[in-house]
Each structure stands twice: as C-alpha cells, then as structure tokens.
C-alpha cells in the first residue's frame, strides 16, 4: 500500500477497480477477494499481478472443484468456494495467508512437496493420503483426514514455476467406509472359518462315535 493509501486508510480507486474486474462474479470467495486488501499481503496490489497469476486465479474461482492457488516465494493462498470444506475453521483466515502459516501442523509433510513442485516443475498426485490437520479452530486438536490431491506448477511469463495449483478432494468418508467394509468382510470370513472348523470337529466326533459303535457291535458279535 502506498503512503497516500495509508494516509487515506483505504485502497486507491484504481486498485479497487482492478480487484472488481479480476474477481467479478458470484460466490463468497469472489466477494472476499474483492474486499481483501491485497496490498497488505506479499502479493501486493492486484494491479501489479502478472497475467499468469490472474489467469490461474480466474480459473480457480470459476471451478466447481476444490482448488487452491499458491503464488510466489511466500506461497500466498487464493482459493474457491469449494475449497472451504477442506479448510473448515481455517477459512476465511486462509485467504491471502502464507501456506506455511495456514498449515503449520502439516508443514513438515507438505512443505517439501511444494518446494519439489517449484524446483522441478513436476506435478505430484497422491490418492487417499492421510493427514492430521487442525481444522476445528482449536490449536493442538487435530483429526485424521484423507485426501486425494494434485499439485501442479503454475509457470510465470518466463515459463518458470512461480506458483502451485492444488486440486484437492477429501476422501475421509470413502476411506472410512472402505475400512468398515473390509473389517466387516474380515469378521464374516472369521465366522466362516470358525463355522468350518466347528463342522470339521463335529464330523470328527461323529466318525469317532461311529467307530466306537461299530467296535462295540463287533465285540458283542464275537461274544456269541
């Protein structure tokens, strides 16, 4: 924010107009993006954003899939309405926030992934990955959650990785349901094995009893 903008306590009309144009359209996140003072973030005023960032943000906000854009060395976050379910209580603080500050409890895991994408430009795809995020607004209280996600590099005008586009789907219910089915199948198989073992035991007892009866009858026959 410039000295003149600080003095007036608001963004310049030109900066506000840029935000209105870039974030035009319906939805909570577009409205929050229009209202956010981007000059107070590491990204700076919207007017100075490169076209590559503008395009990535426009695609993200228009998507019905949960998507997150992280840009620059600080990996400043912008996301769409569908991504709110991933953030939960971390929304809306996560908008315009550094990824490291948004996900401190996961940074040892996801930080190297992000850096790998920026360093190599290669995408990462993982399915049903277990994380333990703090999403209920209670520091130190985490929960098990599973996600299928893709991290892809966003190139700048010089074709160098300058940001990351994350597409994330939470699969916790699917994984838990699959686990419940597997446990139910294991119980059924255990019951079938127990029933088979009991059947074998009864057959063995029956054969033993038959042999005893036969031996008894033969001994009676010999006696006469």
Q: What is the chain's pLDDT, residue by residue, as a tens digit (224 residues)?
A: 443 343 334 455 556 788 999 999 999 999 999 999 999 999 999 999 999 999 999 999 999 999 999 999 999 999 999 999 899 889 999 999 999 999 998 999 999 999 999 999 999 999 999 988 776 666 666 678 899 999 999 999 999 999 999 999 899 888 887 655 555 456 656 655 766 676 777 677 778 877 877 777 777 766 66
Inter-residue contact 134 to 141 (CB < 8 Å) = yes
Same domain, 97 and 187: no
Residues 193, 99: one domain?
no
- Residue 33 in any domain: the answer is no
Residues ≥6 apart with Cβ < 8 Å to 131: 106, 109, 144, 145, 146, 147
In a domain, 15, yes or no: no
70: domain range? Answer: 40-170
Domain end position, chosen among 155, 170, 185: 170
Cα–Cα dist 99/114, whole Å:
10
Q: Are residues 136 and 195 in the same domain?
A: no
End-to-end CA distance of the chain: 119
The CA distance from 11 to 48, in Å, is 14
> Which of helix, strand or coil describes residue 160?
coil
Evaluate whether residue 67 is within a structural domain: yes
Q: Please tell me whether residues 165 and 61 are part of one structural domain.
A: yes
Say if residue 78 is in the same domain as residue 181: no
In the chain, the number of structural domains is 2
Q: Does residue 207 lie within any of the structural domains?
A: yes
């Amino acid at each position: 924010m410039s000295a003149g903008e600080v003095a007036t306590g608001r963004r310049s009309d030109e900066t506000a107009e840029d935000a209105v144009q870039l974030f035009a359209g319906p939805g909570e996140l577009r409205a929050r993006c229009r209202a956010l003072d981007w000059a107070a973030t590491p990204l700076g005023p919207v007017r100075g954003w490169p076209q590559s960032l503008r395009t990535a943000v426009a695609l993200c906000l228009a998507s019905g899939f949960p998507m997150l854009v992280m840009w620059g060395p600080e990996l400043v976050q912008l996301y769409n309405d569908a991504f709110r379910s991933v953030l939960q209580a971390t929304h809306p603080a996560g908008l315009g926030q550094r990824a490291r500050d948004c996900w401190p409890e996961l940074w040892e895991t996801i930080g190297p992934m992000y850096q790998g994408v920026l360093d190599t430009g290669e995408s990462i795809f993982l399915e049903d990955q277990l994380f333990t995020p703090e999403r209920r607004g209670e520091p130190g209280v985490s929960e098990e959650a599973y996600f299928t996600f893709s991290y892809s590099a966003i190139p700048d005008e010089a074709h160098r990785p300058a940001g990351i586009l994350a597409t994330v789907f939470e699969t916790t219910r699917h994984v838990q349901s699959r686990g419940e089915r597997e446990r139910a199948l294991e119980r059924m198989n255990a019951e079938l094995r127990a029933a088979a073992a009991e059947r074998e035991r009864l057959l063995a007892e029956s054969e033993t009893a038959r042999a005893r009866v036969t031996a008894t009858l033969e001994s009676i026959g010999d006696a006469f």
